[in-house]
Structure 1
Amino acid sequence: MDSRKLSRIFIPKAGFYLWVIFFLIAVITFLKPLVSIPGYILFVFLVIYNYKSTHIRNREITKYIETLTFNIDCATKDTLLNFPMPLVLAELDGTTVWYNSSFKGIFQNDTVQQETVAELVTDLKPQMTEGDSINISSEVTINDRHYSVLGNLVKLDDSNNEESIIVMFYLVDNTELINEKQRFEDNKNTVGLIVIDNYDDLMQSMEDSVRQQLLAEIDKKVTNWISHTGGVLKKFERDKYLCIFAFKYLHELEEKRFEILETVKEINLGNKIPVTLSIGLGINAPTIVENLQNSYACIDIALGRGGDHVVIKDGDNFRFFGGRTRELEKRTRVKARVIAYALRGLIDQAPSVLIMGHENADIDCLGAALGIYRIVKNRDKRVNIVLNHSNANIDAILNKMAKEPEYNNVFVGTNEALDLITKKTLLIVVDTHKPGFTEAPELLKMTDQVVIIDHHRRGADFIQDAVLSYQETYASSTCELVTELLQYVEDRIRLTNIETEALYAGIVVDTKNFIFKTGVRTFEAASYLRRQGADTVSVKQLFQNDLKTYITISNIVKDAEVVYDNIAISICPSNVKGAQLIAAQAADQLLSLAGLVAAFVLSYHDGEVVISGRSLGDINVQMILEKLGGGGHLTVAGAQIEGVSIQDAKKMLKDAIYEYIDSLAKE
């Protein structure tokens, strides 16, 4: 027997005692009947007394409970009616059951009130678990006031009828907290650097008498641009400004697309070239110093993209504005000579050299690598070129090299390169500056000696801590830059026919036969290669197409879709050999059609979609393809997208084009 049940037997109860008395009287009656008569009289008295006292006690308890319940109900009602926070009860279909005066007071009309309650219930339903009570929390804005919504959803009975479930919402006014937080955000410091990125060229193009007048006009326009922010502007070098202003003004500057970039171009005081600025802004860093460091990094990227850019660094993210001006060719070769001397010193100090381009190497990449190969070879250093596989872009050159004993064992794959590289190995990266685009990104982590030679506009992702970087966006190609280095690294260097043809071919391909991005130095580089023995006819033969390829290109052009009346998009068939090269040629061919200013051709290569973009200069294909993870130049750019179908990639490309065109419309 349960011990708790056993214990109840011994709990004193009036009824139990009466039964004991009755038993004892019965025993007395059996022994002495006359003696039991007073006992029966006493027993009847006790029964009557017990009944009356029990009845009175039960009535008092009932009255107490009724009074207590009434008091609780009154307290509950008073609490609900006078609750200081807005309170509302609702059903699961969004119907308002009851609300207090505080809740009604925050609305201007009943329609908005009912809509708000319905939205709160709708947000709650995905969280609901049948049979359980849950707590909810969300944020809502009503009539410019901010509220935290706290609530509870409770099932009132065991049935599945939704009407048995009531939702109670409490609204906590957080307006002051939110406003204070916003004031804090608005008043955070934005630190920026402004650079006149063509200062030297401007000064050389003007008479001494008007130089100071030009600088004064630039100062005036920059000061007027920043003055409405109430910030600080300080010119600390002849061509550099430091500015600090409140974060709340940045959105306004972005909305106006940083109009200062176009404003300074209107300055005309006899300068033969337009004034362009590069602006770097650091935001949301913990300290002003870190924001300043970020602004310096932004300036490096802006200048690496050819200037006329605004670059904003927010944490690890970058935003870009501007970049509508073509890069200006630098007439002086001082930098080329300095880089050549520095490169020669690094080569002499290194025990060995590895040369690496980008994956899926093109002729500009291979030509530049061969030019650097000749420089290193003439310094009597061991040198190899990292190349994992060939492709249609470089097959013709590689076939020629295979016939020359001098180039035996020149090329190594990634695994072999990892065995050769040490911390002191000089790794020269050509035709790219992005770690993820290189032939073997892991090599970058294996050495402290990295050199970059590239002509692409710098993106947000670039190789960090290079010991030497020669990145000139004005150049037509990396082959042009390497050709200039060849002229300064040694007095008399002799190139082989294959090397001269590869370098010349790289310039021809990237300039589209000396049409795009062709300056005086481009022709000078081509002239040097011609003197070295480059055969222009042989180079032309490298790019000859057979009839089948020509028909394929024609079909791609024929099937092109035109958006915005002047931008063509087409797709290269997936079963075509050398699809990536054919896509690039088709994009070039599309630009020869009247009325088109830009063209994009998509192809499928090694499990990823490759996009080739071309432009006549009115459309910045680099900025469009950067939205898809690519890069390049104003007129020539590319992108590679993994894990999507070619139709999905086309849709992504269209979205990027629409976004770019919309941004132009806002300027």
Structure 2
Amino acid sequence: MNREDKKSSSFSWSQSSQLLLTVIIIIQFILVITGLVIRPMLGLGMLILVGLSYFIILQLKKRYLAEIEDYVQHLSVRVKKGEEESLVKMPIGIILYDEDNDNQIEWLNPYMMGQISGKNIIGRNLNKQAPVLVEKLEKNKEKNNFYIHYNDKTFQVIREKDQQILYFLDITQRYNIEQKYLNSRPVIGFLLLDNYDELTRSMDDREILKFDTLLTTYFSNWFKQRNIYYKKIDDDRYLLVTNREELADMEEEKFNIIDSIRERTSKRSAPLTISLGLSYSDDNDYHQMAESAESNVELALARGGDQAIINKVGEDPQFYGGKSDPMVKRTRVRARMVTQALESLINQSETVFVMGHKQSDLDSVGSSLGVRRIAELNDKEAFVVIDQDELNNDVRYVIDESLENDQIGPYIISPREAVKKADENSLVIMVDHHRTSMSLAAELIDISNRLVIIDHHRRGNEFPEDPTLVYIEPYASSASELVTEMFEYASNEGLPINALEATALLGGIVVDSNNFSLRTGSRTFNAASFLQSVGADNKIIRDILSEKPEVFIERSRLIEKMEEVIKGVYITCGSEEKEYNPIIAAQTADTMLTLTGVEASFVITQRPDKLIGISARSSGRINVQVIMEKMGGGGHLSNAATQLKDVSLKEAKEQLVETIHDLLGQ
């Protein structure tokens, strides 16, 4: 018996037992002495009995300790054998590897051997034997406890970095139960027929009934196939109830119902487009889900319709679709109503501040000057907020001319001056943008309790809280076009606008429509015609937009490096050591789009502010706005951009290529 076993045996014969035995022996010894004193023969007999009993007790103790020793030894053998058996037979994978020796496999148990190759691969390279497994492990290299899917199973992986050991626990059954539970969680949504009223306005009752029957049949079949409950709650609105699994399937299909409805009704003068808003939550709060879904469908409509927006309650939404050009949805009735509402707000305010976005372009400046004129027609003092330290050459000319104009010059102020002048009764008007982070003087929005937004970009995630009036027309050519239309309904006597303002507005339309080649409809030409009638000078616009030879050469060098990512989609990158004006990047993207076979163009450059800028353009078939939104930017279906921080040009290009492949699926 070794030392440890002796300690165990000795401890088993407990101290309490020894104490009890000692007490009994002392008592017996006292009785024997007493017996010897009183009756020697009786005492002698008692002494013999005590000695015999003590001998028997010692023998019993020895036998007991021997049995304990045998039990412990047998148990040790069983435990050791069980450890060995468990390492070999238990359904838990174990891999010992040498990270310093190119992930060489030092040992693995038979269970893990069967998962990888079924052969003895000890001493071989894990990267070569199980590259897929290594790839999944690399994605979670910063974690010590994570899940991976491998060989149709789900494993919980526990990594012991110090010991370089990996434990693989097969939790497939538990994972499947969890997924089944999560997939059954409810989703609430709303479906809106964007232009139902416009399409049915010219129909008689019989045609409307036929059209409704067509829609009902299609919706009924489509929703039944996807296990979606739907209920018509208005002529153009449906309530939807489904689960997370069906939602995931619809996302995988990119909500093809949107394209399908448009194609099925494309034979009409204008195809029907639909918008979907869906929402879900972890705590199954139906009230919050319904509110969020309704907000999503309204956001989809504000972005131009023909798209689906989904989100988890409390998180940013995801966008799908948005491929159509709903020019027919714009009505002059809305333009008149917005103009009247704007004039009412102007009359209720003490001071008006009009501001465009940072890095102001002609559209931003032209629409700002136009709105200022509308305020002046209503006898209100209005200021245009301009940061003169961030002006490009084309905008610089307009601002310099405006500063020299006695009617306009005194009302052009810097963002700092605007903040000093503003109070809670001021009216702040954002033009050509709706993202607070892009505003020239975002502090104005916090100071004032009245905010108006006039924009032609699709509404994004970032949006001011509770604006008083919102006029967003995503498929107008420019903010300048929207402002120009307002003069038709604005209160005025005589000439509503001077030649300089008209020239700035026309310049804004020309720039944003790429010389009337993009997002141009009849109303765009009507606006341009009106501006020319009140003195807009095409020659000045041509001179403003003319470029220096070095700019043309720089653009040509960028175009020379363009490469095709997928069919019809081209990317070009500037030099790492060179900074590019954002205008050059935008013009390069526009020029690339004029080349044969180019459906979408992306220009990646380093800006003077050290950010990496991406300018995106599309002929209309590809939605570049969704791609830019995925990368934190925004814009329009055919004209969008984003800026990235703390990345190199190479990293920005890799992100863009990955996003294009994810969204376009090629």
TM-score normalised over the length of structure 2: 0.78
Which residue of the partner structure matches residue 391 of structure 1?
Answer: 391
Question: Structure 1's 87 and 552: CA in aligned 2 closer, same or farther, altered over 3 A?
Answer: closer
Q: Within 2, Cα distance between the matches of 1:219 and 1:280?
A: 19
Matching residue within 188, 193, 206 for 2:190: 193
Q: Within 1, Cα distance between the matches of 2:338 and 2:419?
A: 27
Q: Give the deviation of 1:221 after TM superposition.
A: 1.1
Question: Structure 1's 501 and 259: CA in aligned 2 closer, same or farther, altered over 3 A?
Answer: same
Q: Which has the larger radius of gyration?
A: 1
Which residue of the partner structure matches residue 228 of structure 2?
Answer: 231
Q: Within 2, Cα distance between the matches of 1:63 and 1:244?
A: 73
Equivalent position SS for 1:612? strand
Which residue of the partner structure matches residue 647 of structure 1?
Answer: 650
Structural RMSD (CA):
4.1
1:252 equivalenced with 2:249 (yes/no): yes
Which residue of the partner structure matches residue 277 of structure 2?
Answer: 280
Query: What pairs with 1:69-218 in structure 2 (closer than 5 Å)?
Result: 69-70=72-73, 72-73=75-76, 76=79, 86=90, 92-93=96-97, 175=173, 177-204=174-201, 206-218=203-215
Which residue of the partner structure matches residue 6 of structure 1?
Answer: none
Equivalent position SS for 1:525? helix
Matching residue within 528, 531, 544 for 2:530: 528
Equivalent position SS for 1:479? helix
Structure 1: which 5+ runs fail to align? 1-10, 15-48, 128-135, 156-161
Q: Within 2, Cα distance between the matches of 1:124 and 1:622?
A: 34
1:265 equivalenced with 2:262 (yes/no): yes
Q: For residue 659 of structure 1, what is the amino acid of its counterpart? A: D
Which residue of the partner structure matches residue 450 of structure 1?
Answer: 451
Q: Within 2, Cα distance between the matches of 1:295 and 1:534?
A: 45
Which residue of the partner structure matches residue 618 of structure 2?
Answer: 615
Q: Give the deviation of 1:414 after TM superposition.
A: 3.3
Question: Structure 1's 112 and 422: CA in aligned 2 closer, same or farther, altered over 3 A?
Answer: farther
Q: Which stretch shows the higher mean deviation, 605-614 or 515-524?
A: 605-614
Q: For residue 223 of structure 2, what is the amino acid of its counterpart? A: I
Q: Within 2, Cα distance between the matches of 1:576 and 1:79?
A: 68
Q: For residue 521 of structure 2, what is the amino acid of its counterpart? A: G
Equivalent position SS for 1:488? coil
Q: Within 2, Cα distance between the matches of 1:485 and 1:111?
A: 73
Query: What pairs with 1:217-366 in structure 2 (closer than 5 Å)?
Result: 217-268=214-265, 271-284=268-281, 286=283, 287-315=285-313, 316-330=315-329, 332-366=331-365
Which residue of the partner structure matches residue 597 of structure 2?
Answer: 595
Question: Structure 1's 656 and 220: CA in aligned 2 closer, same or farther, altered over 3 A?
Answer: same
Q: Within 2, Cα distance between the matches of 1:510 and 1:77?
A: 79
Contact 1:501 1:534 in 2 (8 A): yes
Question: Structure 1's 168 and 524: CA in aligned 2 closer, same or farther, altered over 3 A?
Answer: closer
Which residue of the partner structure matches residue 33 of structure 1?
Answer: none
Q: How many residues align?
A: 589
Q: Within 1, Cα distance between the matches of 2:246 and 2:342?
A: 45
Q: Give the deviation of 1:468 after TM superposition.
A: 0.6
Which residue of the partner structure matches residue 373 of structure 2?
Answer: 374
Q: Give the deviation of 1:542 after TM superposition.
A: 1.4
Contact 2:403 2:410 in 1 (8 A): no
Q: Within 1, Cα distance between the matches of 2:180 and 2:649?
A: 46
Equivalent position SS for 1:266? helix
Equivalent position SS for 1:605? coil
Q: Within 2, Cα distance between the matches of 1:549 and 1:309?
A: 38
Q: Within 2, Cα distance between the matches of 1:284 and 1:466?
A: 27
Q: For residue 650 of structure 1, what is the amino acid of its counterpart? A: K
1:411 equivalenced with 2:408 (yes/no): no
Contact 1:229 1:246 in 2 (8 A): no
Question: Structure 1's 78 and 643: CA in aligned 2 closer, same or farther, altered over 3 A?
Answer: closer
Contact 2:355 2:429 in 1 (8 A): yes
Which residue of the partner structure matches residue 511 of structure 2?
Answer: 509
Q: Within 1, Cα distance between the matches of 2:363 and 2:566?
A: 32
Q: Within 1, Cα distance between the matches of 2:121 and 2:466?
A: 57
Question: Structure 1's 556 and 180: CA in aligned 2 closer, same or farther, altered over 3 A?
Answer: closer
Question: What does the per-residue CA deviation read over 1:280-322, in whole Å, with 9 as the maximum and x for residues that have no partner?
Answer: 1112253112111111121122112221101111241322211
Q: Give the deviation of 1:460 after TM superposition.
A: 2.3
Question: Structure 1's 424 and 172: CA in aligned 2 closer, same or farther, altered over 3 A?
Answer: same
Question: Structure 1's 281 and 63: CA in aligned 2 closer, same or farther, altered over 3 A?
Answer: same
1:629 equivalenced with 2:632 (yes/no): yes
Q: For residue 661 of structure 1, what is the amino acid of its counterpart? A: L
Equivalent position SS for 1:193? strand
Question: What does the per-residue CA deviation read over 1:238-260, in whole Å, with 9 as the maximum and x for residues that have no partner?
Answer: 11111101221112212222221
Q: For residue 233 of structure 1, what is the amino acid of its counterpart? A: Y
Q: Within 1, Cα distance between the matches of 2:423 and 2:648?
A: 40
Equivalent position SS for 2:287? helix
Q: Give the deviation of 1:522 after TM superposition.
A: 1.0
Q: Within 2, Cα distance between the matches of 1:503 and 1:344?
A: 19
Equivalent position SS for 1:644? coil
Q: Give the deviation of 1:490 after TM superposition.
A: 0.9
Question: What does the per-residue CA deviation read over 1:136-195, in whole Å, with 9 as the maximum and x for residues that have no partner?
Answer: 866677987767678999x9xxxxxx8xx9x897969683x5444323212111111111
Question: Structure 1's 645 and 170: CA in aligned 2 closer, same or farther, altered over 3 A?
Answer: closer
Question: Structure 1's 280 and 70: CA in aligned 2 closer, same or farther, altered over 3 A?
Answer: same
Q: Give the deviation of 1:234 after TM superposition.
A: 0.7
1:544 equivalenced with 2:546 (yes/no): yes
Q: Within 2, Cα distance between the matches of 1:577 and 1:90?
A: 52
Contact 2:115 2:151 in 1 (8 A): no
Report sequence identity in percent. Answer: 30
Matching residue within 549, 557, 560 for 1:558: 560
Q: Which stretch shows the higher mean deviation, 452-461 or 633-642?
A: 633-642
Q: Within 2, Cα distance between the matches of 1:255 and 1:151?
A: 33
Q: Give the deviation of 1:346 after TM superposition.
A: 0.9
Equivalent position SS for 2:657? helix
Equivalent position SS for 2:370? helix
Q: Within 2, Cα distance between the matches of 1:88 and 1:610?
A: 49
Q: Which stretch shows the higher mean deviation, 430-439 or 322-331?
A: 322-331
Question: Structure 1's 317 and 114: CA in aligned 2 closer, same or farther, altered over 3 A?
Answer: farther
Equivalent position SS for 1:406? coil
Q: Give the deviation of 1:64 after TM superposition.
A: 5.8
Contact 2:186 2:280 in 1 (8 A): yes
Q: Within 1, Cα distance between the matches of 2:268 and 2:386?
A: 47
Q: Within 2, Cα distance between the matches of 1:310 and 1:206?
A: 28
Q: Give the deviation of 1:586 after TM superposition.
A: 2.2
Contact 1:557 1:570 in 2 (8 A): yes
Q: Within 1, Cα distance between the matches of 2:399 and 2:266?
A: 53
Q: Give the deviation of 1:263 after TM superposition.
A: 1.9
Q: Within 1, Cα distance between the matches of 2:179 and 2:582?
A: 50
Q: For residue 257 of structure 1, what is the amino acid of its counterpart? A: K
Equivalent position SS for 1:317? coil
Question: Structure 1's 226 and 548: CA in aligned 2 closer, same or farther, altered over 3 A?
Answer: same
Contact 1:87 1:169 in 2 (8 A): no
Q: Within 1, Cα distance between the matches of 2:375 and 2:535?
A: 20
Contact 1:206 1:271 in 2 (8 A): no
Which residue of the partner structure matches residue 488 of structure 1?
Answer: 489
Contact 2:187 2:289 in 1 (8 A): yes
Question: Structure 1's 180 and 533: CA in aligned 2 closer, same or farther, altered over 3 A?
Answer: same
Contact 1:86 1:171 in 2 (8 A): no
Which residue of the partner structure matches residue 584 of structure 1?
Answer: 586
Q: Within 2, Cα distance between the matches of 1:57 and 1:536?
A: 120
